[in-house]
Amino acid sequence: MLQASRNDRFTPGSVPEHAASVQQVLLWATSALSEAGVPSPRLDAEVLLAHVLGWQRAGLYARPEFELTPAQQQAFQAFVERRYRREPVPYITGHREFYGLDFMVDRRVLIPRPETELLVERALETAVHLVTGKQPLILADVGTGSGVIAISLAMHLPHAMVYATDAFAEALEVAACNISRYGLSQRVHLLQGDLLQPLPEPVHLIVANLPYVSTGYLATAAPDVVDYEPLVALDGGPDGLAQIRRLLTQAGPWLLPGGAMLLEIGAGQGKEVMTFAAQCYPAAQVELFQDYAGLDRIVRIQT
């Protein structure tokens, strides 16, 4: 049967001469990933196997006796080896679901987090009050990465024009693939540059999920993060707020009258970000929203 080493060097073993069933390979993979300290070994094994087979996860429970072909076993072993080394599952499969949509992701971009869906929710709530009639809504997604925020907003705001900015060409390549997949090339425009610098005009709404993890905290983060994800998309400086402060300082001229800005922040950063936002925009209404775990997550500045 399949074998895994307890050492850092993973030894997947050879493909068995006899066929192995879904149930058997899942037991092996779960054991191997548990040895590696993977937080959710069974779930990860199921996701990887379902991807290899082209099934939904429910199919693994419906057909536990299904025998994999040698090619399928080899592919699954290769995936498990990568996860054993703590490569994140979305990078292995090349996909991540976000706000009900499926997106391509790889190591050029940060993996979208579930908490960022709250940023999209609050942005959609805000957007409906910014324009009247069929006037086009103009918005900017700053630091777009894989483009999941810009695309999710464009899909739910059919009259919106979206500028998606990022400093890194590699990230914009991934975003371009996702934009093309959803047929949004006419409404989501990719711009390379620092924060708001590449915008051609002021906008009604700015949304941003900028780096907000402190440099010191990153040193203690899981290997799934520090060994694989682009740290430039996570490292927010000594207190995590360097990029957020820069955006708040620069955003004023880029907001149309009555416009709004929404920022994703880290847990415990709400008070400091709100104070700084109020200093930058003394006449604005500044609000803090917490996520479903009760942690600081979104700051909204309504001018």
Contact status, residue 231 vs residue 209, Cβ threshold 8 Å? no
pLDDT of residue 14: 43
Residues 177 and 33 grouped into a single domain: no
Clarify whether residues 65 and 146 are in a common domain: no
Tokens of 251: 């955003």
Q: Tell me the backbone φ, ψ of residue 234, rounded to 5 degrees.
A: -115, -35
117 in the same domain as 75 = no
174 closest CA partner among 255, 235, 90, 256: 90
Domain count, the chain: 2
Angle between helices 148-156 and 116-127 (to 10 degrees): 40
The answer to whether residues 114 and 170 belong to one domain is yes
Same domain (yes/no): 154, 269: yes
Q: Do residues 270 and 179 both lie within one domain?
A: yes
- Whole-model pTM? 0.91
Cα–Cα distances in angstroms (integers) from residue 98 to residues 39, 55, 106, in the given order = 21, 19, 15
Q: Considering the domain boundaries, does residue 9 fall inside one?
A: no
Domain's final residue, options 85, 105, 136: 85
Looking at the structure, tell me whether residues 286 and 198 fall in a common domain: yes
pLDDT of residue 134: 74
Q: For each successive 10 residues of the chain (303 residues), what is the average pLDDT?
A: 44 56 96 95 97 96 94 96 97 97 97 97 95 87 98 96 98 98 97 98 98 93 94 95 98 96 97 98 97 96 96
Distances (CA, A) of 55 to 10, 46, 66, 127, 165: 26, 10, 12, 37, 35
Please identify, among 39, 64, 85, the residue that sits at the C-terminal boundary of a domain: 85
Query: Is position 4 within any domain?
Result: no
Residue 173 and residue 251 in one domain: yes
Q: Which of 59, 85, 111 corresponds to the end of one domain? A: 85
- DSSP-derived pairing of the beta strands 285-290 and 188-192: unpaired
pLDDT at 15: 44
**Predicted local confidence at residue 18, as pLDDT:** 61
> In the structure encoding, which two tokens stand for residue 22, read together?
């879904």
Burial, 232: exposed, middle or buried (Cβ in 10 Å; 0-12, 13-18, 19+)? exposed
- State the Cα–Cα distance between residues 180 and 192, nearest whole angstrom: 17
Residues spanned by the domain of 261: 95-302
